Structure 1
Amino acid sequence: MGWETDLFALFDDLEHHAGTMAAAERADEIADRSRAEYQSVTLASRLMASVGTEVTISADGLDPITGTIDRVADGWLLVAAGSHDWVVNLAAVTGVVGASVRSVPEVAWSPLARLRLGSALRRIAEAGERCVLHQRNGQRHEGTLRRIGADFCELVVGEERRMVLVPFTGLSAAQSRG
């Protein structure tokens, strides 16, 4: 019966090696799939998972903004920083520190998250609040948003009520002054 024991031991050893090789191959495949799947994760989806989290955002033409993400939507996010709210153009964001390691895919977003940057700026205009528009090139204009077009906003500035048009592509953020 000794040869049967040796044979079964050999089969057990071969089965163990085959299982180990299959597990290693499966781990490599899972890693490859994970890397491939992560390609579909967007900055907005990572920020959506960070709603309610304090982050520091760097954006063109701005000093870093540290605050809590209140809302993320199509092309913009709302950050509460001290006594000011910031509507930040996602296209101007150059870095985020403190974001969640998770993401929320866009198919799981609320319909309200489909609202674009113009919708957020219209809310500020409708409220008649003073704000500061920070442009990506570092310029800033303080005034009251009057009208919001398809791809630009119109700001009334100063005592002389001068009109300044700012295209969304040049806008880094709108900062509340209320």
Structure 2
Amino acid sequence: MSWEHELFALFDDLEGQASALWEADREAELADRARSEYAAVTLAGRLMASRGQDVVLDLPHVGRVEGRLDRVGSGWCLVSGRGQDWIVPLRAVAGVHGASDRAVPEVAWSPVDRLGLGAALRRLADAEVRCLLHLVDGTRHEAYLVRVGADFVECRAGGGGDSLLVPYDGLVAVQSRDA
């Protein structure tokens, strides 16, 4: 073998090593980028991709809520099952089973999907639906939602009486009682 062939073989070998090092570095960079991108994925985004699917939510003092994930909004979701609807603030969710592997970023949501918990509660108040409010301390109140404020809901028991103000942070779930 001539010295030229040896030199070209050496260059080919060095080029192969450089290419392999570049690929390894690129794979590490792509993995790092994927981790960084996933850090921006929210629970609401994962749930938005799961709309229409059957899910199970684990809720404190309530247990498991099973049903079809019908809506996801800014900080809340609606699960329908067994003739009842559940409006659940996402901060109260202890676990989700059956969610999609995908996510829909909030920038891709429609304006209706961006509505907050208050909008969902106002629909119940407007419809005069009898509800069971599950609170973070484990108590429950069967009542009708009367008015919805910026960070609380006002409700009244079926027979009238005093109104009860419940801050959004005090809610675990609002369960419709009328089918």
1:144 corresponds to which residue?
144
Matched residues in 2 for 1:110 and 1:22: separation?
A: 42
CA positional deviation for 1:130: 0.8
Task: Tell me which stretches of 4 or more aligned residues in structure 1 moved more than 6 Å.
Answer: none
Matched residues in 2 for 1:51 and 1:35: separation?
A: 25
2:86 corresponds to which residue?
86
CA positional deviation for 1:57: 0.8
Matched residues in 1 for 2:51 and 2:72: separation?
A: 7
2:96 corresponds to which residue?
96
User: TM-score, length-normalised on structure 1?
Assistant: 0.94
CA positional deviation for 1:160: 4.4
CA positional deviation for 1:60: 2.6
Look up the equivalent residue of 2:67 and give its one-letter code.
G
Look up the equivalent residue of 2:119 and give its one-letter code.
S
Matched residues in 2 for 1:103 and 1:160: separation?
A: 44
Of 167-176 and 29-38, more deviation after overlay is shown by 29-38
1:21-72 deviation per Cα after TM superposition (whole angstroms, max 9, x unaligned): 1000001111111111222111111111111111111123211111111111
CA positional deviation for 1:162: 3.5
1:72 corresponds to which residue?
72
Matched residues in 2 for 1:161 and 1:53: separation?
A: 40
Matched residues in 2 for 1:65 and 1:19: separation?
A: 53
The question of 1:38 aligning with 2:38 is answered yes
In structure 1, runs of 5+ residues without a counterpart are none
Residues 132-171 of structure 1 correspond to what in structure 2 (within 5 A)?
132-171=132-171
CA RMSD of aligned residues (A): 1.4
1:79-134 deviation per Cα after TM superposition (whole angstroms, max 9, x unaligned): 11221111101111111111111111111100011211011000001011111111
1:118-176 deviation per Cα after TM superposition (whole angstroms, max 9, x unaligned): 11000001011111111111111112111111111111114243322111000011111
In structure 2, runs of 5+ residues without a counterpart are none
1:120 corresponds to which residue?
120
Matched residues in 1 for 2:160 and 2:108: separation?
A: 47
SS at match of 1:64: strand
Look up the equivalent residue of 2:82 and give its one-letter code.
G
Identical columns (%): 54
Look up the equivalent residue of 2:161 and give its one-letter code.
R
Look up the equivalent residue of 2:122 and give its one-letter code.
R
Look up the equivalent residue of 2:58 and give its one-letter code.
S
The answer to whether the Cα contact below 8 Å between 1:60 and 1:137 also exists between their aligned partners in 2 is: no
